[in-house]
Amino acid sequence: MWSFIHKLGSPPWFFRFSGNVVKWLLPVTIAVLFVGAFWGLLVAPPDYRQGNSYRIIYIHVPAAVVSLAGYYVMALAGAISLIWRIKMADIAMKAAAPVGAVLTGIALVTGAIWGKPTWGTWWVWDARITSMLILFFLYLGVVALFEAYENKAAAAKACAVLSLVGTVNIPIIYKSVDWWYSLHQPASIKFTGESAIDASMLYPLLLMITAFYGLFALVVMMNMRADLVWHHRQSSWVRQWAGFE
């Protein structure tokens, strides 16, 4: 286990390893995504109260769940970068931020589209939605901060601090539907106790959540690979990969 974590810090090892992972994870993720979307859109029964508009749940919830988990990944990379000054952690943090921003954007946009037929409005400034909007800006802030500095080490430090401070927002998002009166419905899937969702609707949702996790891992690794090649363009392992030496 420790030797695996140790190896992750080595750019050539990670580049080879991630190349192999991407090769099989890409088709598996796309397959799971299509099966889940097909099941959720066409096979699952409609909701007895919301009708067919509820089918947006199969992209809205996975995007939201993974955008929250992705923030922890980014903040953890930030903490590792601050404490141990590992370059790979900076690269991971930089790679995760745009993916998280897009997933949060998807959660917000699909939520707005779902809100229109369900609540009669595209947008309300309630606790859940506003805290998700803050998450979106935190991700964008990290992306922008990386670009703003000439000095990459200073950029990584600033981004690490911002992402660590921003973690305060995550439990607020989780708990917002319990703490405040909200239009947003509370969680249907619970780790403890029985879920408030029928199996015929739950299985495609679990498939889609798995696919979104796979997608997050994939794109973060692909972003890291593109970054690594550029950082190490003078190294022999990159030249070897490109077909030289």
Partner 1 sequence: MYFDSLTAVAHMDGHGVYVWLAYAITMVLLSWLLWSPSRELRKRKLWIVAEARRRAASTNATPEAKTQSEQAMSTDRAQMETQG
Site of tokens 């909007």: 133
- Among 13, 18, 6, smallest CA distance to 226 is for 18
Determine the distance from the C-alpha atom of residue 206 to the mean position of all C-alpha atoms in its chain, rounded to a whole number: 16
Beta bridge partners of 51: 47
By the rule CB under 8 A, 202 interacts with partner 1: no
Amino acid in the structure at residue 221 = M
| Nearer CB in complex with partner 1: 110/131 | 110
- The site map against partner 1 for 136-165 (x = CB under 8 A) is ------------------------------
By the rule CB under 8 A, 116 interacts with partner 1: yes
Report the nearest approach of partner 1 to the CB of residue 46 (Å): 7
Q: With CB under 8 A as the contact rule, which of the stretches 67-75, 82-90, 165-173, 215-223 interacts with partner 1?
A: 215-223
- Which long-range CB contacts under 8 A does 193-201 form with residues at least 24 apart? 200/44, 200/45, 201/40, 201/44, 201/45, 201/47, 201/57
By the rule CB under 8 A, 226 interacts with partner 1: yes
By the rule CB under 8 A, 128 interacts with partner 1: no
Q: How far apart are CA 192 and CA 62, in angstroms?
A: 19
By the rule CB under 8 A, 193 interacts with partner 1: no
By the rule CB under 8 A, 225 interacts with partner 1: yes
Cα angle value 42/47/50 (rounded, 5°) = 115
Binding residues vs partner 1 (CB under 8 A)? 26, 33, 37, 41-46, 51-53, 55-56, 59-60, 63, 99, 102, 105-106, 109-110, 113-114, 116-117, 215, 218-219, 222-223, 225-226, 229-230, 233, 238-239, 241-244
